Amino acid sequence: MKKFFILFLTMMIFFSGSALAKNVTVTGSGVTASDAENDALRMAVENTLGVLVDSNTLVEKNMVIQDNIYTQSRGFVTDYKVISRQQTANGWQVTINATVDDNPNSKLMNELTRLGIINNQLRNPKIAVYVPESHIQYRVPDPAGETAIVKALIDAGFSQVTEVGSRMTVSKPLKMSANELTNAARQFGVDIMIVGEAFSEGVGDPSQWLPGHQNSNMHACRARVEAKMFIVRTGQIIAADGKFASGLDNSQAVASKKALAKAGQQMGEYFVQQITGMYTSQQGIEVVVYGADFSKINKVQSAIGSVRGVKSCNLSSYEGGKAIFTVMYSGSPQTLYNQIQSLTDADITLQSISYNTLTVSVR
């Protein structure tokens, strides 16, 4: 297990500096130096879209992207530096280093959302989870740790989560290469692959550590769940960790399952934070609430303010039973809605969810 911990630590250090980079170096061509510079800016935005948007959508929406995105490329580049200008036989070539703002609330992302090029898929990606487990040295069916990871993801609002189970035949998931992970993701049609391994072992009767050493007929088990998260769109492992937990029961088998489930829950919560941080960051979500009685709307506002991850909730406008709140929140609109429902006794109905807008009615 120590080797696995060192492996995870190494991966986290290695990938933390490369994940979700927005800075690109590109070369544009044109009849004039200005034309070449504009072409380079377009290529910088095109490069970013290649990460944000799947290839089928890029082809399907090509004309829309050409007319509405590439023609406005300069407006989506927050900063750039000309590295070189070179005159050629056919005109000019200009190389730039550019930063394209692809944050969730950026002008680019809002425009992609408005045009229907990016939709709620970013907020609700398809996720496959494969974390086989063993107790001591024996493979255990129906992995408790894997199930706990899936449950944590679903509880957070990710509805497209699946356990791949027997459909995966890899004996050492943690050693899967990027190509192997990509092929597996394509097989299951998912955006994210979470793979790992889980281990548990008995540590004896807990009474042995108490004065008197009387046999309690109870069994204690210790478990560790280790996993990594692979983003298919970028081809990168962007998160990896391992979690420990303990379980106690008069059956060692049940004690091991309890320990694995607890460790799996911690692992699932870790991945929820990574996914929501990657896709949503700390941003403004517009929450539209329809309600004839403003006291009901107040209940919704109070519930929003109690949600973990909400930094602020401000009323932007209210007219004719329609209230609009600007909410600074680190999660997705779906997760926010789930949390609001659990924190109030008001009758709340979901009307719609878009990239950065949640609309509900309350009565």
Fill in the DSSP letter of residue 167: G
Q: Average the pLDDT over 319-337 and give the result.
A: 84
Structure tokens at 242: 């391992």
315, β-bridge pairs: 325
* pLDDT tens string 96-141: 999 988 765 578 877 887 787 765 445 568 899 999 998 876 666 7
What DSSP designation does 135 have?
E
* d(C-alpha 247, C-alpha 243), whole Å: 14
CB 201 within 8 A of CB 222: yes
Give the Cα separation of 260 and 201 in Å (integer).
10
Which pair of structure tokens corresponds to residue 244? 């420990």
Q: Point out the least confidently predicted range of 30-44, 81-95, 187-201, 265-279.
A: 265-279
Q: What is the pLDDT of residues 55-86, one digit of tens each?
A: 777 888 889 999 999 999 999 998 999 999 99
Residue 41 has a pLDDT of 95
Res 193 pLDDT > 70:
yes
**What average pLDDT does the structure give for the chain?**
82
Helix (H, G, I), strand (E, B) or coil at 149: helix
Q: Which of 78-82, 199-203, 280-284 has the lowest mean pLDDT?
A: 280-284
Mean pLDDT of the region 175-198:
91
Average pLDDT of the residues in 323-351: 87
Domains and CATH numbers, the chain: 23-118 (3.30.1660), 123-279 (3.40.50.10070), 283-362 (3.30.70)
Q: Can you say whether the dihedral through the CA atoms of 62, 68, 72, 77 is positive or negative?
A: negative
Q: What is the pLDDT of residue 321?
A: 92
Q: What is the pLDDT of residue 335?
A: 81
Burial (CB count <10 Å: 0-12, 13-18, 19+), residue 320: exposed
CB 283 within 8 A of CB 356: yes
